[in-house]
Structure 1
């Protein structure tokens, strides 16, 4: 039976390549124009496009953009303003030609002024709304002849005799308008006092913060025939271009980005920007979890190699494996993985930064903080420092990568044996120390306790679901990679004596909020991948499938391509097993004969939307700089009012997290529901792994369509 299931695993690991990665989509790309490109400092009051050339205006000068820079030009003769009627008690705010006359927006509403000088007040209404408009600051007609307005009540357009109206409930993010402009194919842009809004096919995209604009107060917008939006703000001009590219094109961009700016001796992590917002000023940095992030990059290239056969992918996966194995080989004791390795001449004085005094200071806010020194011991050869106090994050990354690398990349016996050795070393360290990561001080690390005693303590009860599941996952990976039956025996002890498999059915915390951290989602799903893929017992598979669904309930609404890809691949595998009658006639759970058929029936198919993976991958910005973004003011957001929850957590009115290009992080190990977030405030660039891993994993598992 085991041979049959392993054969099934290998078959599922070699799905035919598909062409979804080559299909074109529109990627929006931002260029910020400030004094560096020749604009004056301060506000740009107006912008237009004359004969295909962008023209920016201030109170003092007019500039045009040619050959990559802005240069001053002479102010031409302006067009005479149209003759406007007097509207008693109202201030005119916006005017646009419409049907031979004018549409006029004012403080008191919307008016049509016909070519025969007739003034008519307009009251937009449909089956849901009837509006007496106020502060109609924005008007435009689109390429399909529809009249659009932006007012205090919301946004709407008149198509023939029919009004379509939008508030926050329909996706409108903000309503303090300053301007509007039309683009090709019915596209419309609105300027607001806090950002710009792009509307395409009745869907609203919110473009604000330094990710999209130099300043949030938008004074004007002009849209070129190619759809490029030129946005004048209080701090310069933003150029948002529409570039046709494929997912594979995007992957090449991010692979290049990682290799040029995020590869430190084979380790992959974010980089620091010496000049805020400027990737050209990038310098290599270290994270707290280099092992985790290098594992993720290695796994991305393992899936890439399996899906495409690209020799570059194998070389990068091999390099990542050697780096991760080095983390294990360098430490004080066989099988203990370091977090980070840096040369001794690293510019940051790490052991001065992480001093004993610093440890004691940290313990004031976190009594469980580990007082260990040095936090960066020196390697035996004296050439490197390695960071200790390794956590469960690192282990989850290592074991996830090693299983994938062993199955998809390691071809020769020498390559496979290297994987067996490192997996065996780590697993044996954990077993030898009673399921604990034990540091150079002889004590367990802060987040490295997987022992039964810890799970029974007041300090560890909330970790037992996640850590029990992960320990069983690590043992499954070790059993699969090494073939050593002792790891099966250890897992059996943990299940039969300590109920780890029961704990694992609640694989992560959901409440209270202080116990819920987004990287636990990463740890959980990565652990699930090895746990389920390498399990052969049908009873355990049913339990683990139920555990996966429990974890998924909170994660499913975040539109995270990595988590979605893991869930979908495992759910699809369960469907295949059920189709092959793998759970039938086995006498499973005789004390409750309804359990097995109920799980198979209820969880037969995955509860996911396959389109969300593609959506997330397409929306990941090419610019992976971390910006501060505050979405708490949005009209299309519902604030989470759960007890003890932060006021900075919420979701769109459709129940899903904001799109990744509208929130304050681009990493796929963060909380998609965080409305106020900062990933370095422009001083960090994050590695392209957060696109590459979900893309190639989804590509390999056939999750991107055909």
Structure 2
């Protein structure tokens, strides 16, 4: 059995865009001969029909570049892996448009490409997976970070990462920032082991991880309700408020629910609620250092279980790796976990909004499990709330109190629910005349990982542990369908290394993009991909594309989707955590080696 895979430094795509009249563009490109060699010897499908290629150029590394009205192809039969022999480059990520008119080798590992609307210099530069992790982190800290929160940012100028606007939010800022924090916690843990606590790189990694943790904890306190309620996100007073949820503006010891379409439907618009509980000063610094005070801050409510699960997982690892060296942070972690867990338990295993009703998607009660939507949700949600109690017990050290709460859940049969996931998902999909894969909420894969990873890690009772393992295994098909090491490494830690394809996961790091610019790809222009039409007309690719040839997205999207763009395209940039979360966990636990 393979225990680990040594990662390789491999060629990665770098594209620099130019206008046609830019003096940096070689004049020879405009007079390059448009000829194509005999391609009949290539016995694999190419992204364009062989007869449709109109120009070509040989690279200095022996690769053949081919241009057509459907984009750019790189044919490199000497590639180490079969997947790398044919690579496809398309608009808008790699080309100005797909109408390639001429090619000129740069006599190294790249090519100059003339298209109908512009020019791009495509270079294949050898990069190690660790260099990629640092490049992506640097991009996130410079362009995506918003007072410690990292999700995505809009760009004032398309493709220009440096033009990221200072405002904006995502519906799941807490979720995505917690995922980022976990990745950086493991980054710190790896460097501490490799270089020691006092090394400057280790200290910097700890600083980044700590700030992300503080940003998550701030969301657990910013409502000032004093009852453990967690906000989805928050905005500064000068940031625009979208019309997509419940937003509350702080003003003194009160908060007012702003008027949005959603707040009006919920009859909460202009409702005034208590906001008298002070925010811990250490967390306030995230916005006071930017010149803001409490008054005028706007937080988003109607929080979902997505945020709650990732917050508890982040608290678990922050306590484990950061707490000992930072008692103040550790105390905040303990208070935050206990406050949120107390809220959930006190309110009958539901997260309550200010009107006394549960939020839309944060319900773990038997009452909810008995509903049409709650019945298929119950196996995952049961694992979630069991994990919340175990993490709170572990972090706070208050064993007796939280063991009583844990036992209550066991007495109500919560431990027996997780293993029912696939059966219930299958039955629910049949009732909808669908299928499990089409019906799947792909964001639930991350929630599954968050719940079972910590729960199984903390459970010492052999029989309970086996029940939870059975629950985790019931997700195996949908988790491994994505070939995402961020899911598969935690799964393997719990269920065994022989359960996943370590080589395929290692390949994912090599082929992940060097940037999280959300520029789309042109799947519709490809000749070598067939569509699979699933339930309700939902379209998927006939095979799973490499990460650098499908759309950029967070962990909550189906990578098989026949979709050319997600997250706003060339005018948005995403956080690095999709890569860094998986990479540093993989290094720390020895699934991969540099």
Q: Give the structure-2-normalised TM-score.
A: 0.82
SS of the residue corresponding to residue 557 of structure 2 reads: coil
Map residues 157-556 of structure 1 onto 2, 5 A cutoff: 157=41, 164-167=42-45, 172-175=46-49, 176-201=52-77, 203-284=85-166, 285-309=168-192, 310-331=202-223, 332-348=225-241, 356=259, 358-359=261-262, 372-373=268-269, 380=276, 381-412=294-325, 413-483=327-397, 484-506=399-421, 509=425, 511=429, 512=434, 515-556=439-480
| Structure 2 equivalent of residue 669 of structure 1 | 556
| Structure 2 equivalent of residue 608 of structure 1 | 500
SS of the residue corresponding to residue 521 of structure 2 reads: strand
- Deviation, 1:559, is 2.5
Would you say the 8 A contact 1:638–1:651 is kept in 2?
yes
Which residue among 637, 642, 650 is the counterpart of 2:541? 650
Which residue among 2, 5, 29 is the counterpart of 1:56? 29
Q: 1 CA distance for matches of 2:27 and 2:305?
A: 53
The superposition leaves residues 172-220 of structure 1 with CA deviations (integer Å, 9 ceiling, x where unpaired) of 3331322233224442222122111112236211111210100111122
- Deviation, 1:705, is 3.7
Q: Report which structure shows greater RCO (CA 8 Å, sep ≥6).
A: 2
- Deviation, 1:351, is 9.0
SS of the residue corresponding to residue 166 of structure 1 reads: coil
Q: RMSD value over aligned CA atoms? A: 3.0
Q: 2 CA distance for matches of 1:319 and 1:374?
A: 33
Match status 1:703 vs 2:591: yes
| Structure 2 equivalent of residue 26 of structure 1 | 11
Would you say the 8 A contact 1:378–1:385 is kept in 2?
no
Match status 1:625 vs 2:549: no
Summarize the Cα distance change of 1:357–1:424 in structure 2 as closer, same or farther, 3 Å threshold. Answer: closer
- Deviation, 1:302, is 0.7
Q: 2 CA distance for matches of 1:377 and 1:253?
A: 44
Number of equivalenced pairs? 534
| Structure 1 equivalent of residue 254 of structure 2 | none
Greater share of helix residues, 1 or 2?
2
The superposition leaves residues 145-194 of structure 1 with CA deviations (integer Å, 9 ceiling, x where unpaired) of xxx41xxxxxx42xxxxxx5123xxxx33313222332244422221221
| Structure 1 equivalent of residue 578 of structure 2 | 690
Q: 2 CA distance for matches of 1:31 and 1:178?
A: 23
| Structure 2 equivalent of residue 4 of structure 1 | none
- Deviation, 1:433, is 0.3
Summarize the Cα distance change of 1:319–1:199 in structure 2 as closer, same or farther, 3 Å threshold. Answer: same
Would you say the 8 A contact 2:150–2:176 is kept in 1?
yes
Q: 2 CA distance for matches of 1:264 and 1:640?
A: 39
Would you say the 8 A contact 1:568–1:608 is kept in 2?
yes
Q: 2 CA distance for matches of 1:534 and 1:492?
A: 15
Would you say the 8 A contact 1:327–1:341 is kept in 2?
yes
- Deviation, 1:697, is 1.1
Q: 1 CA distance for matches of 2:518 and 2:559?
A: 14
Q: 2 CA distance for matches of 1:229 and 1:383?
A: 52
- Deviation, 1:19, is 11
SS of the residue corresponding to residue 637 of structure 1 reads: coil
- Deviation, 1:619, is 1.8
Q: 1 CA distance for matches of 2:246 and 2:23?
A: 41
Gaps of 5+ in 1: 1-15, 40-46, 48-52, 63-77, 80-93, 96-137, 140-147, 150-155, 158-163, 364-369, 573-604
The superposition leaves residues 210-262 of structure 1 with CA deviations (integer Å, 9 ceiling, x where unpaired) of 10100111122222321112122111122111222222222222222222222
Gaps of 5+ in 2: 193-201, 248-257, 277-293
| Structure 1 equivalent of residue 196 of structure 2 | none
Summarize the Cα distance change of 1:636–1:492 in structure 2 as closer, same or farther, 3 Å threshold. Answer: farther
| Structure 2 equivalent of residue 119 of structure 1 | none
Summarize the Cα distance change of 1:254–1:185 in structure 2 as closer, same or farther, 3 Å threshold. Answer: closer
Summarize the Cα distance change of 1:615–1:274 in structure 2 as closer, same or farther, 3 Å threshold. Answer: same
Q: Give the structure-1-normalised TM-score.
A: 0.70
Would you say the 8 A contact 2:156–2:163 is kept in 1?
yes
SS of the residue corresponding to residue 471 of structure 1 reads: helix
Q: 2 CA distance for matches of 1:240 and 1:549?
A: 43
